[in-house]
Amino acid sequence: MTERIPLVIDTDPGIDDALAVLLALASPEVDLRLVTTVHGNVELEQVTENALRVLHLAGRSDVPVAVGARASLIHPQPERAGHVHGAAGLGGVELPPSPAGVDPRPAVTALAELLTASPTPVTVAAIGPLTNIALLLAVHPEAAARIGRLVVMGGSAGRGGNVTAAAEFNIWSDPEAAQAVFGAGLPTVMVGLDVTLPTVLTTDGIDRFAAAGPVGRTAAAILQQYVDHAKDVYGTPGVVVHDALALTEAIAPGTLGTVRRDVVVDTTLGAGRGQTLVDRRSVSASATAVEVAETVDPASAVEFLVQRLCLLDGARA
Ligand code: BDR
Ligand code: CA
């Protein structure tokens, strides 16, 4: 087998974040070296506790968790997503506490040290607001330049927003940070609503990993709040696990069809705030262009997720 890709997940768990972390732990292609937490779906203390507990659920409390930004860079964004993810972020499921505490280093320091020390390029999957990555760029630009791939769940090229008419939640939560990151010239893949919304995990798939064993059963319990929310709000029989699709692209590069595009984030304070303005008129040759995910095979992406989650309980799907 080829060498495992060192991986960092920057996250705000979050139901789909929890699934994404579990997917990474189930995937032999990657070696999860660090989890960094960021404000987002719920408050920072809670997402950090959730990250520790999700790792413990999978028997991986050895993976360090470093605490990141408590708030967005410039304009306070107090609105959270507890109505989607549950007040404590994991769909009302209380996971057993982890024996591990948090890493003593701030997230950007832990990330910079890992990037600098790694002999092989590190993939960073950013599945929350981009505040930590923007801070890394500002404080440790030489370490940020060593990122092998930055896979971002966020934005939308042509599907509008999910939190406002214009904006997707992660970008809307810190548009200034997102603009700094998308404009930095890092090897970035934007996994936005264009590819996540069509990728629906149905209750059939959830039932398969729920039957595999205790970890799958707990993952299914965490998802139940998402299932109920999707049924109530959208009338759909399945869930969109945005962050897990971004992790799939991080684990298996090329899963999604991408095109190099110029992307600008709307940082005005009007109705368009947080919109990702993706120039789809042409393929960009600019050094700061972003690989925008535009196509997905939803059935195979969902199958990949279900099979991998079954593996956490040692079962073959
Ligand atoms: C994104 O917003 C959050 O609520 C999810 O965890 C995901 O990262 C989807 O818009
Ligand atoms: Ca998230």
- Measure the CA–CA gap between 60 and 1, rounded to whole angstroms: 22
- Measure the CA–CA gap between 120 and 115, rounded to whole angstroms: 9
Query: Does the beta carbon of 21 lie inside 6 Å of ligand 1?
Result: no
Using the atom order of ligand 1, give the atom closest to the CA of residue 41: 4
Catalytic position from the list 56, 85, 140, 242: 242
- Helix 175-182 and helix 131-139: axis angle, to 10°? 50
pLDDT in 10s for each residue of the chain, 317 residues: 579 999 999 999 999 999 999 999 999 999 999 999 999 999 999 999 999 999 999 999 999 999 999 999 999 877 777 788 788 889 889 999 999 999 999 999 999 999 999 999 999 999 999 999 999 999 999 999 999 999 999 999 999 999 999 999 999 999 999 999 999 999 999 999 999 999 999 999 999 999 999 999 999 999 998 898 888 887 888 999 999 999 999 999 999 999 999 999 999 999 999 999 999 999 999 999 999 999 999 999 999 999 999 999 987 65
Query: CA separation (Å) from 116 to 32, 119, 122, 146?
Result: 16, 8, 10, 7
Note whether 150 and 250 are within 8 A (CB): no
State in Å: Cα 152 to ligand 2 middle: 10
Domains and CATH numbers, the chain: 5-311 (3.90.245.10)
State in Å: Cα 244 to ligand 2 middle: 9
Query: Does the beta carbon of 41 lie inside 6 Å of ligand 1?
Result: yes
75 belongs to the catalytic site: no
State in Å: Cα 262 to ligand 2 middle: 24
